[in-house]
Amino acid sequence: MRVTIEDIAKKAGLSAASVSRILNNTGRFSEATAKKSAGHCG
C-alpha cells in the first residue's frame, strides 16, 4: 500500500500542506515540525 501525504499528516498531527512543505523543503516550518513529520515518513 502506498503512503500518502495525507497519511503522514494524520499520523503526525500536521496538515497535508505542512508535510508537503517539509518534503519539498519549501516555505517555512520549524525544526520541531520537520521532526514530527520525519518520524512518520518511513
DSSP annotation of 32 reads: H
Span 1-42, pLDDT tens digits: 898 999 999 998 999 999 999 889 898 888 888 888 877 666
Nearest Cα neighbor of 37 from 6, 26, 2 is: 6
Q: Enumerate residues 6+ apart whose C-beta is below 8 A from 26.
A: none
The boundaries of the domain holding residue 34 are 5-38
Distance (Å, rounded) from C-alpha 5 to C-alpha 18? 9
Cell numbers found for residue 33: 515540525
**Count of domains observed in the chain:** 1
DSSP, collapsed to helix, strand or coil, labels residue 27 as: coil
